[in-house]
Amino acid sequence: MKQKTILTAFGGASPEHEVSVITAHQAMAALSESKNFLLKPLYISKSGRWLTGDALLDLKNFENLKSLENMCTPCNFALNDFGLTVLREETKGFFAKSAETQIHTVLAAFHGSNGENGSFQGVCEMFNLPYTGSNVLSSAMGMDKVIAKKVCGSEGIPVVEGFDFFETDWAKNPDDFFAKAEELEYPVIVKPVHLGSSIGVKVAKNRSDLEQAIEVAFRYDRHLLIEKVISPLMEINCSVLGSGNSSEVSVCERPLGKEELLSFQDKYLAEEGTKGMAAADREIPANIPKKLTEQIQETARKVFRLLGCSGLARLDFLVDANSNQFYFNEINTIPGSFSFYLWKESGMSFPELLNKLIDNANEEHRLKNRQIQSYETNLLSKKAVTGIKGLKGTK
Ligand SMILES: Nc1ncnc2c1ncn2[C@@H]1O[C@H](COP(=O)(O)OP(=O)(O)O)[C@@H](O)[C@H]1O
Ligand SMILES: [Mg+2]
C-alpha cells in the first residue's frame, strides 16, 4: 500500500505557539504507530517563517528555537508542473532542483490566532489541499467569542449575559462602558475576543479592578468582551467529532483549576511541560447528573452543526453549580492535544481519532471538489474585452 504523506502543520505567530508544538508532537507520535503514513512536519516560526526538516521531529530541539531554525529548510506550498500541490523546499545552489513532496492531507495542529482562526485554512483552500478540522468560516467564527456567542444565542442556546466593545470606542468614552459593566453587577469578567488559554482574562470586583483588567486585555486584542461572572462555577467540556449532519460526542470532562479561573498554568503546566492539555487536572468523565451530561452533549452537537464545523472540536460550558444552569462558553476548533484524552475515555484510541479526522478532511475535500468550481466561458476573449472603454489597446 502506498504511504500517505501527512503534513503536520504547527507553531505560528500565536501566544499558544508552544502548546501547538506539544499538540503536534503528540499527534505525530500517535500517527507514527501506523505504517500507512509518512510524516512530514511544517513548522511556522513565531516570526512567520515556514520551515520543514527532520530536526522538527525531535521535541528536544525546540528548547532553542534559534538553533532549531538553522537546522531546518524554508519551504512553501506550490503547484508543480503537473498542477499538483506540493511542499517545495528551498535549495541553496543556483542549479539545484527543489525537493518537492506531494501532500495527502494537512493535519492542522495550530492553536490560537493565525492557524486556528481560518487564515491557514484559507491558504490550504487556495492550494486545494485537504486539511483537518473546520473550514475558513467556522474556524473564524470559533475564534471570535462574540460572533460564536451571537450565532448561538440567536438560536436559543444559553450564553452568559454580557457585551463587547472596541478599543476605539473605549478611548472615546470609557464611562459608558463602566456603566454598562456595572449594570451587570460586580464581579464581572473581562476577556480578549480572539485569544485562548485564559490569556488576558481577568475577573474584576470593582471599578479600579475593571479599569486595570480592560487595559491589560487591550494589550492582547482590540475587541473585548465583558460578562457576568458565574459563581459558584463548574466547567464542563466535551468534544464533537464528525461533520454537521453526522457527529459523535465524547464523554464530558470537568477541568479542576486551583485558581479562581482556569489559568494557562492549570491548563498546560500542571505536570510535566510536554503533556499539553492532557496534563491538566481534571475529572473524566465529569461526575455530574446524567441529565446535565446529556443536555451538554446535545447542545455541543447543536453548536458544532450551527457553526458549520467539521472534523473535531472541544466545546466548553460554564455551569452554575447551584442551579445546574449551563451556558455555552466557547468552541475550540483545534483543541489542545486534539482532546484525545476525552476520546480515549469514550473508547477511541488516539491513532483511531486521527484516522477519522484525516478521513473527514478527505471527505470534505471530495464534497467541495464535486461542486462546479469554474465555468467554461472566457469573459476576457478579444470580443468581450473590446467592449470595455478606457483601457489602453482595447478600443
Ligand atoms: N462568565 C464567566 N464566569 C466565570 N468564570 C468565567 C466566565 N467566563 C470565563 N470564565 C473563566 O475564565 C476561563 C477562561 O475564559 P474563556 O472564555 O474560556 O477564555 P479562553 O479562550 O482564554 O479559554 C474559563 O476557563 C473560566 O475558568
Ligand atoms: Mg476557555
Domains of the chain, each with CATH number or no CATH: 4-131 (3.40.50.20), 142-157+232-368 (3.30.470.20), 162-228 (3.30.1490.20)
Cα of 268 from ligand 2 centre, angstroms? 12
Count Cβ neighbours within 10 Å for each residue of 73-110 and write b for 16 or more, e otherwise: bebebeeeeeeebbbbbeeeeeeeeeeeeebbbbbbbb
Residue nearest to atom 25 of ligand 1 (CA): 262
- Residue 375 confidence (pLDDT): 63
The residues that bridge with 7 in the sheet, in sequence order, are 40, 106
The residues that bridge with 243 in the sheet, in sequence order, are 246, 310
Q: Is the CB of 189 under 6 A from ligand 1?
A: yes
Q: Mean pLDDT over residues 335-353, rounded?
A: 96
The number of the ligand nearest the C-alpha atom of 148 reads: 1
Q: Is the CB of 303 under 6 A from ligand 1?
A: no
- Residue 196 confidence (pLDDT): 77
| Residue in 234, 261, 334 to alter for ligand 1 test, most ligand atoms within 8 A of Cβ | 261
Mean pLDDT over each residue of the chain, to the nearest integer: 91
Q: What is the DSSP letter of 258?
A: S
List the one residue out of 272, 327, 323 whose CA is nearest residue 299.
327
Q: Is the CB of 196 under 6 A from ligand 1?
A: yes
Are 117 and 140 in contact by the 8 Å Cβ rule? The answer is yes
Q: Name the percent of the chain lying above pLDDT 70.
A: 89
Q: Mean pLDDT over residues 171-181, rounded?
A: 95
Q: Could you tell me which residues come within 8 angstroms of residue 350 by beta carbon, excluding any fewer than 6 positions away?
A: 26, 27, 30, 338, 340, 343, 344
Cα of 180 from ligand 1 centre, angstroms? 20
| Helix orientation angle between 119-126 and 136-143, rounded to the nearest 10 degrees | 170
How many angstroms separate the CA atoms of 213 and 203, rounded? 8
pLDDT, tens digit, 9 for 90 and up, residues 89-147: 998 776 677 799 999 999 999 998 889 999 999 999 999 999 999 999 999 999 999 99
DSSP assignment of 221-274 equals -SEEEEEEPPSSEEEEEEEEEEETTEEEEEEEEEE--SSSS--HHHHHSSS-TT
pLDDT higher than threshold 60 for residue 394? no
Q: HSE on the CB side for 270, CA within 13 Å?
A: 18
Taking CA atoms, 379 is separated from 387, 388, 390, in Å, by 11, 11, 17
Q: Mean pLDDT over residues 151-169, rounded?
A: 97
Q: Is the CB of 318 under 6 A from ligand 1?
A: yes
Residue scoring higher pLDDT (269 or 132): 132
Q: Is the CB of 266 under 6 A from ligand 1?
A: no
Cα of 1 from ligand 2 centre, angstroms? 41
Q: Is the CB of 288 under 6 A from ligand 1?
A: no
Q: Is the CB of 263 under 6 A from ligand 1?
A: no
Going across the sheet that includes 202-204, the strands are 162-166, 223-228, 188-192, 202-204
Q: Is the CB of 16 under 6 A from ligand 1?
A: no
Cα of 27 from ligand 1 centre, angstroms? 26
Residue nearest to atom 2 of ligand 1 (CA): 229
pLDDT higher than threshold 60 for residue 264? no
Least trusted range by pLDDT, from 194-198, 306-310, 337-341, 348-352? 194-198
Q: Is 314 exposed, middle or buried (0-12, 13-18, 19+ CB in 10 A)?
A: buried
Q: Mean pLDDT over residues 169-173, rounded?
A: 93
Distance of CA 64 to the CA centre of its chain: 25
Residue nearest to atom 21 of ligand 1 (CA): 196
AA letter at 377: T
How many angstroms separate the CA atoms of 224 and 214, rounded? 8
Cα of 329 from ligand 1 centre, angstroms? 7
How many CB atoms are located within 10 Å of the residue 306 CB? Answer: 20
Which atom of ligand 1 is closest in space to residue 227's alpha carbon?
Answer: 1
- Residue 258 confidence (pLDDT): 54
Cα of 13 from ligand 1 centre, angstroms? 23
Q: Is the CB of 191 under 6 A from ligand 1?
A: yes
pLDDT, tens digit, 9 for 90 and up, residues 11-49: 998 888 999 999 999 999 999 998 999 999 999 999 999
List the one residue out of 261, 265, 259, 198 whose CA is nearest residue 235.
261
Q: Is the CB of 333 under 6 A from ligand 1?
A: no
pLDDT-derived band at 281 (thresholds 50, 70, 90) equals confident
